Amino acid sequence: MKKHNFGAGPGILPKEVLTQASKAVIDINNSGLSLLEISHRSGDFDAIMARSKELVKELLGVPDDYSILFLQGGASLQFAMVPMNLLPENGTAAYVQTGVWAKKAMKEAKMMGNVDVLASSEDKNYNYVPKGYQIPSSSAYLHLTSNNTIYGTQMKSYPDSPVPVVCDMSSDIFSCPVDVSKFDLIYAGAQKNMGPAGTTLVIIKNEALERAGRKIPTMLNYKTHVDGDSMFNTPPVFAIYVCMLTLEWLKSIGGVPAIQKINEKKAALLYNEIDNNPMFNGTAAVEDRSLMNACFLLSRPELDQEFLKMCKESGIIGVKGHRSVGGFRASMYNALPYESVEALVKLMKEFSMKTV
């Protein structure tokens, strides 16, 4: 049966990417060797690293005074690396608390300096994105989360900030255009919208390097990875290769503006059903709804299991909501075809007909 993968992460990848990746595991560039057994210092891998960076630069329009890194440790390690590298010991960093990921980032920053929570949506279980807060010009940086994967909220615009902006874009990078020049640092775990688990994209303004003025362990210092071209130590070769293939795929279908249109179309189809079918209720504030993760509840929660069962029978996978929101979450990352959303909406209609 055809599967429709709405999983929140690791998320769906394009079929052609998986086919190409599986070939490279057996034989890379007709070399008679697997991608997994060649030196990361070889010409074959050098080309993969260079092409991956080139694609990031091109697809996001990264300015020349930024470095593009492929690191390990997930977005979760960035929660610590950001303050280690950007927050001086007696400094204060400003955070907007839009969910548990933001909260985890704050926890790490508190170990390096002071944290100023400018705004939080915890009062409503993070179902909206706070706006209109003041950003103190004394902050070392402002930390934001562009898309709150668990609650299905997304920032539709960024505040004008008097201080450098850092953003966790793990779950919506490459889904819509961003003006990279407005950020000093962007990070994203690859496994939501860019590739497999195992690498984290970091885009850092060179000016921001060595800003905290503290001693930093070598591997946790961005400077090490900029100087080492993301190959100070053995990089996660497979994860980077699959990111490269996914970005090549994105470029081939027209890049970020083209996928944004498709993402908007997919989200409109699903939210339209959520809004018009009395069996379903969206959980996120309408103006802050995410194009990537749509969260919804049944108006008769006693039927949750039955809905899940019907989904499973139709090949609709990964729609169970996160435990902190409950209900359902349909993640519509770049690689999810429009037809998969059509299949889900069709099932939602059938389900409500069957149960009224």
Ligand X SMILES: *Cc1c(COP(=O)(O)O)cnc(C)c1O
Query: Which residues would be at the binding site for ligand X (CB under 6 A)?
Result: 9, 74-76, 101, 145, 149, 168, 170-171, 189, 192
* Minimum gap (Å) between residue 258 Cβ and ligand X: 23
Minimal distance, residue 50 CB to ligand X, in Å: 24
Task: Choose between 75 and 178: whose C-beta lies nearer to ligand X.
Answer: 75
SS3 330: strand
Measured from the CB atom, the residue of 100 and 216 that comes closer to ligand X is 100
Name the amino acid, one letter, at 262.
I
Distance in Å, CB of 197 to ligand X, minimum:
7
- Return d(Cα 79, Cα 98) in angstroms, integer: 14
Question: Nearer Cβ to ligand X, position 20 or 191?
Answer: 191
Taking Cα atoms as reference points, which of 291, 285, 230 lies closest to residue 256? 291
Answer for the pair 156, 177: CB distance below 8 angstroms, yes or no.
no
Q: For residues 234 and 321, give the distance between their C-alpha atoms in angstroms, rounded to a whole number.
A: 36
Q: Which is nearer to ligand X, 101 or 238 (CB)?
A: 101
* C-beta closer to ligand X: residue 168 or 273: 168
d(CA 306, CA 324): 20
CA–CA separation, 338 and 172 (whole Å): 17
Q: What are 301-306's contacts with CB under 8 Å, separation 24+?
A: 301/326, 301/327, 303/355, 304/328, 306/351, 306/355
Q: How far is the CB of 166 from ligand X (least distance, A)?
A: 12
Minimum distance, C-beta of residue 152 to ligand X, in the bound complex (Å): 11
Handedness of CA 69, 71, 76, 78 (dihedral sign): negative
Nearer to ligand X, 76 or 281 (CB): 76
For the annotated catalytic residues, the residue numbers are: 101, 168, 192
Q: How far is CA 266 from CA 156, 171, 305, 338, in A?
A: 17, 16, 25, 6
Instruction: Return the number of other C-beta atoms located less than 10 Å from residue 303's C-beta.
Output: 17
CB of 147 to ligand X, least distance (A): 6
